Each structure stands twice: as C-alpha cells, then as structure tokens.
C-alpha cells in the first residue's frame, strides 16, 4: 500500500494522462470481450465460460496472419472472422445441446473447451510466451499530452472500441436485426412462433461474440504478450465487468470495463498487491447491493 | 432444526429420513470398506496401489463434499478448490510455522475453512445458479492470487517448500508409509460416513427439498438461506479435510490446489461417477485419478485428452456411471413387476 504515490500521480498531469490512457485501453479490450459475453448471456441465458479462450484464439490467429502478410489490418480481420466462424461451430455442435439444461452441463462443456483450446494452442504455437511486436504502421512517435506519453496504437485502439460500442448501440437499438435479437432475448418461443428462425439468431449472436473476442485478441496482440493461459484471466475480469455493469446489458459492460480498467491502472500505483482484491471487492459490493448490476434489467422470471 | 420442519423434511424425501436401521447399514458398509482397504498392504507391496489409495482418500472426500452442494443442494459451485487448497495451506502452515501436532493442525484447517466458508457462503448462497457458480469461482481465484502474491507466508508459486513435519501422535507415526495409508483410509471412511449420516438426517432431506422447490420450502417455514449456508459450510469443512490428506501425502501445499482446474476436476468427478447416488463421486474420483495417471504416461497434452472425455460424458451419456446403473436397474425392476 502506498497511497502517497497515488496522490502524487493524481496531482501530476503527466502521470494522470499516462495512467488514464493505460486504464482506458485495458477498459477498451475488456469491453470488447465483455460485450460478447453479456450479449450471449442476454439472448441465450447461458454464460459462455469459454469466452476467454476465444480471445486467446484471436490473439494467436492474429499473430499467424500478421507474420504471413505483415499487415495488421489483415491480422485483425482474419482473427475476428476466424474466431467468429469457430464460435458458430462451437454453438451449433456443442453449446446448442445444453441450452435449458442445468448449469452443470454448460459449465462442463465450456470447461472441456478451455482445456482443449489451451492444449491446441500449445501444440500449434508452443507453450512459451510469444509477442507480436508493434506493427510498422503504428511505429510513429507517440503524442505528448501535458507531459504524459500516449502511443499512437493506444489512440487507435480506443477509436476502434468506441466505434464498435456505437455500432452495437445502433444495431441493437435501431435496426430490424436489433429488434429481432431483443425479441429473442425477451421470449424465444414467441419470437419463433412469429416465423423468425431463432436458431439463426443464436448462431448469429455467438458469431458476433466470437468476432468481438477475436478482434480484442488481435488488438491486444501488439501490446500484450500471449501464452496458453491468457484466456482464463481475461474471462474472470470480463465476468467481473459484466456483473458490475449488469448481465445482458451492453452499455453496462462499457461502464464496467472502463471502471475496471481505471481501477487496474491506478491501483497498480496505489495498491499494487490489492488490485485484484479491489476488483473482487467491487463485484461483491454490487452483488450484495444491486444484484442486477449498475445498468442491468431485473433478471428474467 | 425445529420439530415441524423435521416432520416435513422427512415426508418430502418419500422415505424415512432417519432411522436406526439405515444408520446401522451405513456403519456396516463403512467398516466393511475400511477392512477391505486396510488389508490391501498386507497382501501386496505395490507402491503404486498404496499411493493411489491415499490420493483417492483425499479426492473422494473432496468430491463427495462438493456433491453436498451440487447433487443434494442444487448449488453448482465452481470454486470448491478454495477450501481444498485453503485447508492444505492452513494445515501446512500450522505444522511448519507453529509446530502443532497433526490433530491440532487438522482442527486448525477445519476452523479456518469453516470461517472462510461462512464468510463466502453468506454472500454466495443468496444468488441464482449462474451467479453462484461464477461468484464462487471468483472467490477461489481471489484466494489463489493471495496465495501467489503473499510470498513471505506461502512461498508464492513455489508452494509450501521444505516439507510438512509429521510428528507422531497417540503412538501413530505418519512418517511411515503404511501408517499414512491406514490413517488416510480411516479419515476418508469416517468423513464419508459422517457426510452420509448428515445427508440422511432431517437436515439432509430439508436440503433436498430446498433444491427441488425453494419456494415451497419457504412457505413451510424453512429458512432457505440458512439451510444453504449450513450446507456450504459443511461441504467447505469436509473439502478442507481432503486438502489436509493431500498435503500430508505430498508433504507440501501448492497454489494449484486452489486453482480453478482443481474445482473443474472435482465437478467432473461427481459428473463422471453420478450425482444422485451417494457413492457416485467416490467412483468418479477413482476413475478420474486412474485416467489422469494413464494419460500422463502416454501424452503431455493432458488437457486435450481430459477435455475430450469430459465432452463425451457431458454431451453423450448426459449422466454419471452410478446414475446410469441406478437408472437401468430401476427400469429392469419396474419392468419385472409390470411384466
């Protein structure tokens, strides 16, 4: 515990800028993963415990595509689409069979996939830490804001996250597709009785979740090292985010992700050993005071 | 438990909740199993077999304690290893740093995990299924990260090094392999018998009723939260005894003991063996340990092999082996009566 350093940081502009941008990019990555998790939960009522593994898969796919093409755009697209495809297969062949059964079965299927994917990554890419390195397009000198350093890639990452958040908000709230998804979340049987193919909606929601997780993995690849266990730690964090924001609420995921991102970056200065503890404490507090989350709806009956 | 709820709980089970004959039969089975296991080392010197039985003792207690929550309470915990690892660390630290005797160390581990379970359970048992699973998982990861970061006390990712002393007590020297074998088997049989008796008691039937219909239980005047919390504490306490046995066996405690994969394996053990038969988790623990030993002999990709087996069971058979046999047996039995 060193609250004095935290106070020093908050009062110095350069430290404030650096830590805030760090917090925001952690939050941006968390949002992309948590948005998929919360969307799948909102529509299908299952928690995809294997969601972190999709993120991991995205990072590794991005690495391979980037090494082959040397283009970060291709890497991000390849990772997003590849993981989306995998998510659809995962949903159609496996998760579909455990909808409506007890949580135990959903848990076991996802547990199996976490184990399998970790080992597949070990077989294909090896078990040691890998790193992509910063793509050349982003190697221009960083911006300086009030003495704090803001790398170009950080700005790019935030722009992408904001764009995706806006896109999700528009699609879910103001388009026909969004209306169908919301209807399926409300009452799947009724929606299907109205002639809408809910199986397609489910597969689509999983694809969208996979796309976001894969994209998050690709965006994380230049700034974070990757290892086969990376999926699980982000799963726990994005779960905390969805609980704080409210399960099933995408805007809640955004608020929760930014909150957790800032707690992480400022916590690493003020209370480095208790960062995780602080996140869990925040989650427990929410669960006790308002179990439906900051922006969540009341749970479905 | 007040007397009205006792009567109701008995009726809900469809069979007498507790009777002397049932308890006598359980006692008979416990003595029989212990006698069979206890004579094994006199017949064979196999080190592999004795190590297997000791590990099975630890995991049989662990898996059965989890089944109190999952099978009998309908609460799917994915963080049960927090008590397994917590018990192992509490015991190891007491033995190493405080130099207590083995029984006092065990008592310390039990008290530690009871307090932990009371605090965690008080928050968790209010929650619905999926929230419960994830919150227990989160608490377990919190304990895991405390173990990893509190290096001066726990040794961080190296685990509790330097061995756990095993001073003789009551003339029993656990430093000798055979004594450790008999001690583990005895502790396991006693714990299993204790859990069986609790689950066959009025409390056990109240717990089943809360699982089946919490609203109805509440209308009948049962404090659902309290029943669930008692079950949570009870299962945490027994899990910690399993952790103590494993710590004694490996003479140390490692962060993996409280990692999520340990909880996952325990969940799979009860799924593999069967949730609705008391001995199911024991069977599942035995099979999974056997499977783990075989797999690690042939391949380093343990997760891949285990994952495929888990998928096969979760999606293919959809129930554990003991449940499968029980189901088939009942079908044959009813078939005979009608036909």
Whether residues A112 and B149 touch (CB distance < 8 A) is answered with: no
pTM over 0.80? The answer is: yes
Whether residues A119 and B267 touch (CB distance < 8 A) is answered with: no
Residue of B nearest to A240 (CA): B138
Euclidean distance between CA atoms A272 and B149, whole angstroms = 10
Q: Answer whether B70 touches A (CB < 8 Å).
A: yes
What mean pLDDT do residues A105-116 have?
88
Q: Is the pLDDT of residue A300 over 60?
A: no
Mutate to test the interface with B, among A111, A239, A287 (most CBs of B within 10 A): A111
Confidence of residue B242 (pLDDT cuts 50, 70, 90): very high
pLDDT, position B9: 39
Between A286 and B234, residue with greater pLDDT: B234
- Chain A nearest CA to B52, separation (Å): 24
- Specify the range with the lowest mean pLDDT, choosing from A251-255, B122-126, B132-136, B169-173: B169-173
- Specify the range with the lowest mean pLDDT, choosing from A47-61, A138-152, A222-236: A138-152
Q: Answer whether A116 touches B (CB < 8 Å).
A: yes
Q: Answer whether A166 touches B (CB < 8 Å).
A: no
Q: Answer whether A5 touches B (CB < 8 Å).
A: no
Q: What are the residue boundaries of the structural domains of chain B, listed by start?
A: 18-263
Q: Is the pLDDT of residue B15 over 60?
A: no
Between B3 and B220, residue with greater pLDDT: B220
Which DSSP string corresponds to B145-208? HHHHH-HHHH-GGG-B-S------BTTB-TTSHHHHHHHHHHHHHHHHHHHHHHHHSHHHHHHH
Between A298 and A116, residue with greater pLDDT: A116
Whether residues B308 and A112 touch (CB distance < 8 A) is answered with: yes
Between A77 and B338, residue with greater pLDDT: A77
Helix (H) or strand (E) holding B37: helix B20-43
What are the residues whose beta carbons fall under 8 Å from the beta carbon of A135, sequence distance 6 or more?
A66, A71, A72, A75, A222
Q: Is the pLDDT of residue A249 over 80?
A: yes
Percent of chain B with pLDDT over 70: 93
Tokens of B48: 């592999």
Q: Which CATH number fits domain A3-127+140-289: 3.40.190, 1.10.3470, 2.40.128, 1.10.1740?
A: 1.10.3470
DSSP code, position A222: T
Report chain B's mean pLDDT, rounded to a whole number: 82
Which DSSP string corresponds to B75-106? ---S-THHHHHHHHHHHHHIIIII---HHHHH
Q: Answer whether B317 touches A (CB < 8 Å).
A: no
pLDDT, position B28: 82
Residue of B nearest to A48 (CA): B130
Tokens of B284: 């599942």
Tokens of A37: 């998790």
Q: Is the pLDDT of residue B336 over 80?
A: no
CA distances from B254 to A107, A167, A288 (A): 25, 46, 32
What mean pLDDT do residues B93-119 have?
88
Report chain A's mean pLDDT, rounded to a whole number: 86
Q: Answer whether B328 touches A (CB < 8 Å).
A: no
Q: Answer whether B291 touches A (CB < 8 Å).
A: no
Q: Answer whether A290 touches B (CB < 8 Å).
A: no
Q: Is the pLDDT of residue A167 over 50?
A: yes
Task: Select from A105, A236, A288 the Cβ nearest to the Cβ of B123.
Answer: A288
Task: Select from B135, B146, B307 the Cβ nearest to the Cβ of A112.
Answer: B307
- Specify the range with the lowest mean pLDDT, choosing from A57-66, A151-160, A208-217, B94-103: B94-103
């Amino acid at each position: 515990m060193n609250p004095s350093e935290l106070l020093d940081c908050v009062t110095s502009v350069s430290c404030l800028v650096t830590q805030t941008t760090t917090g925001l990019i952690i939050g941006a990555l968390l949002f992309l993963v948590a948005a998929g998790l919360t969307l799948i939960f909102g529509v299908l009522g299952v928690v995809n415990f294997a969601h972190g593994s999709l993120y991991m898969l995205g990072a590794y796919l991005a690495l391979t595509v980037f090494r082959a093409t040397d283009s970060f755009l291709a890497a991000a697209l390849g990772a997003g689409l590849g993981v989306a495809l995998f998510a659809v297969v995962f949903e159609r062949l496996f998760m579909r069979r455990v909808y409506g059964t007890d949580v135990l079965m959903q848990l076991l299927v996802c547990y199996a996939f976490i184990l399998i994917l970790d080992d597949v990554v070990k077989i294909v890419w090896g078990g040691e830490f890998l790193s992509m390195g910063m793509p050349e397009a982003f190697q221009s000198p960083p911006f300086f804001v009030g003495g704090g350093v803001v790398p170009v890639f950080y700005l790019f990452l935030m722009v992408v996250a904001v764009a995706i958040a806006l896109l999700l908000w528009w699609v879910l709230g103001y388009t026909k597709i969004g209306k169908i998804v919301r209807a399926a979340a409300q009452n799947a049987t009724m929606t299907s009785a109205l002639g809408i193919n809910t199986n397609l909606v489910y597969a689509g929601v999983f694809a969208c979740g996979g796309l976001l997780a894969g994209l998050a993995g690709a965006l994380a690849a230049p700034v974070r090292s990757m290892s086969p266990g990376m999926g699980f730690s982000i799963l726990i964090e994005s779960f905390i985010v969805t609980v704080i924001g409210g399960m099933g609420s995408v805007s809640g995921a955004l608020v929760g992700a930014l909150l957790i991102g800032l707690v992480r970056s400022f916590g690493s200065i003020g209370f480095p050993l208790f960062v995780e503890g602080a996140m869990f404490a925040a989650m427990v507090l929410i669960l006790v005071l308002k179990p439906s989350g900051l922006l969540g709806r009341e749970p479905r009956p | 438990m007040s007397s009205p709820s006792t009567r109701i709980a008995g009726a809900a089970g469809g069979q007498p909740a507790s009777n002397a004959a049932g308890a006598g039969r359980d006692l008979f089975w416990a003595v029989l199993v212990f006698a069979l296991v206890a004579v094994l080392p006199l017949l064979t010197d196999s080190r592999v077999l004795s190590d297997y039985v000791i590990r099975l003792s630890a995991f049989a207690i662990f898996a059965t304690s989890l089944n109190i929550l999952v099978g009998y309470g309908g609460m799917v915990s994915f963080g049960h290893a927090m008590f397994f690892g917590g018990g192992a660390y509490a015991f190891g630290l007491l033995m190493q740093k405080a130099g207590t005797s083995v029984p006092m160390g065990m008592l310390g581990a039990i008290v530690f995990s009871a307090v932990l379970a009371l605090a965690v359970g008080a928050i968790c048992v209010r929650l619905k299924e999926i929230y419960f699973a994830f919150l227990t998982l989160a608490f377990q990861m919190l304990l895991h990260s405390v173990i990893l970061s509190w290096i001066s006390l726990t040794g961080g990712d190296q685990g509790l090094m330097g061995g756990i002393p095993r001073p003789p007590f009551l003339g029993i020297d656990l430093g000798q392999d055979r004594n450790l074998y008999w001690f583990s088997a005895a502790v396991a049989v006693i714990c299993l018998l204790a859990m069986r008796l609790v689950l066959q008691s009025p409390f056990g039937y109240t717990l089943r009723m809360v699982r089946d219909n919490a609203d109805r239980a509440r209308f009948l005047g049962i404090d659902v939260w309290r029943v669930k919390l008692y079950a949570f504490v009870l299962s945490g306490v027994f899990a910690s005894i399993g952790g103590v046995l494993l710590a004694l066996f490996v003479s140390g405690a490692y962060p993996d003991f409280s990692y999520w994969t340990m909880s996952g394996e325990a969940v799979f053990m009860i799924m593999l063996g069967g949730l609705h038969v008391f001995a199911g988790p024991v069977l599942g623990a035995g099979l999974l340990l056997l499977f783990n030993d075989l797999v690690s002999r042939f391949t380093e990709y343990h997760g891949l092999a285990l994952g495929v087996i888990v998928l096969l069971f979760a999606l293919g058979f959809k129930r554990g082996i003991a449940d499968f046999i029980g189901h088939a047996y009942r079908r044959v039995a009813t078939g005979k009566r009608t036909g």
